[in-house]
A and B are shown apart, each in its own frame.
Chain A
């Protein structure tokens, strides 16, 4: 079980949060202009790395805010948490 540092509330138990999958996936600006392949990639295809993963969490039983987590998927170690809208941190300091 993780201890997650909510950027707004500080460290809390994982059971207060839910995970919503990979972050930094941009919705195509003009959905009508992309083809089926591009739209399918956007909707369903994920990087699912064995290594550093950037993901979205919400603090459901706290401030109810969305934020990002940078985590290693083998050790489950949380490397960093940061707010929505901040740009993706580098893949360093594992």
Chain B
């Protein structure tokens, strides 16, 4: 059923009790043409674009828990595309372009809000970094404004510009902002199912069947299933899935955590990031102050962050926003993120024929969801890396052609 004003009125006569389920719970079939492993935004989006853009049928998404229960539903929802290198700029900006039309494309409100994103600069080095990145953004057609201290304070009057972390300026991307993370998973799931995709929850992949170097199917907690092509999109569990297929990845899985405060009246109408002191903060539409912490330095699948990281983020946050010091933090949680050496994703083929992978998004892949899903769908459909995906192959770790966003932009999100 299409979500529209007319249907809203119509359903009010039955007290909104007869809305059709957004997606159903079909049984796992014996065989599919394409199976996507991982029901996060990237996996569900991949299935959607495979059906929508490539007209493919007989597709399933297998999710071990509930859709969106991985990092898609655990992140701080920051969206931007002001990356330094051409390859990343193209990919992340493709995503922002798709974000702008996503709610109407999916007929589902993903609450994409382009409230603007400020990267603060506290030192001369920071100023040089944002200036270099801003100019590189201009060359790639990405909006970037380099602001001085006065302009920052005018926009965010209660930020502490002269404290321990004095503010010298900021890089502003007005097209950046936030979106409702769950709605992204739900919207893609509903739209994919409308195009005939089976979304199978509570179905964990336990083994990958390979014959003569070609993938033939999967072993799951709901039985065996055959597949002509398989796309792995399991985020924190990428190495676990790769191991099942007999290869290694240049990935470490580490916890990353976030916190939200009690809801308060609107106070912060943009996203603030500071790489130097590692603060990123925004206010949700419910009024909570959403704060992202740093990732832990050790490998873990525990899905909870370490205690000292909370202090590491709260100290600088309160220094920058003294007004937040009396806020009560209500909830804290962690996700397991798959981090690559250059902090860029891996999208493309694997050593196994017809087995593709889209992972390594680490601490910052929510913003890329539509772009990643779209370009991965092209890769799976054609069997060859799309033009946008090609620089992000596993092989770059052998050739040395890394897309080094870690060292270049020093950005977490």
Q: Using a CB–CB distance below 8 Å, which chain A residues touch chain B?
A: 1-2, 14-15, 18-19, 21-22, 36-37, 39-41, 43-50, 53, 55, 71, 73-76
A77, chain B: closest CB distance, angstroms: 10
B298 in the interface (beta carbon within 8 A): yes
Residues of B within 8 A of A50 (CB): 237, 239-240, 253, 301
Over the window 227-262 of chain B, the binary record of Cβ atoms lying under 8 Å from chain A Cβ atoms (1 yes, 0 no) is: 000000000010110010000111111000000000
Q: Contact at A74–B301, with CB atoms within 8 Å?
A: yes
B18 in the interface (beta carbon within 8 A): no
Over the window 384-410 of chain B, the binary record of Cβ atoms lying under 8 Å from chain A Cβ atoms (1 yes, 0 no) is: 000000000000011110000000000
Q: Contact at B239–A47, with CB atoms within 8 Å?
A: yes
B116 in the interface (beta carbon within 8 A): no
Residues of B within 8 A of A71 (CB): 298
Residues of A within 8 A of B399 (CB): 36, 40
Name the 10 nearest CB pairs between A and B, nearest first: A40-B398, A48-B239, A44-B250, A19-B298, A1-B307, A19-B297, A44-B397, A45-B248, A36-B398, A40-B397
Q: Which residue of A lies closest to B247 (CB)?
A: A45
A76–B239 CA distance with the chains assembled, in angstroms: 18
Q: Contact at B398–A37, with CB atoms within 8 Å?
A: yes
Residues of A within 8 A of B237 (CB): 50
Q: Contact at A47–B308, with CB atoms within 8 Å?
A: no
A2–B255 CA distance with the chains assembled, in angstroms: 14
29 A–B contacts from the bound complex (CB under 8 Å)? A1-B307, A1-B308, A14-B306, A14-B308, A18-B297, A19-B297, A19-B298, A21-B299, A37-B398, A39-B398, A40-B250, A40-B397, A40-B398, A40-B400, A44-B397, A46-B251, A46-B252, A47-B239, A48-B252, A48-B253, A48-B299, A50-B237, A50-B240, A55-B299, A73-B253, A73-B299, A73-B300, A73-B301, A74-B302
Which listed residue (B249, B302, B307, B341) contacts A73, Cβ 8 A? Answer: B302
Q: Contact at A49–B297, with CB atoms within 8 Å?
A: no
Given contacts A36-B399, A74-B301, could you give 5 more A-B pairs where the C-beta distance is less than 8 Å?
Answer: A22-B299, A43-B341, A45-B248, A46-B239, A49-B239
Residues of A within 8 A of B341 (CB): 43-44
Residues of B within 8 A of A74 (CB): 300-302
Instruction: Please indicate which of the listed interface residues A40, A41, A55 has the most CB atoms of chain B within 10 Å of its own CB.
Output: A40
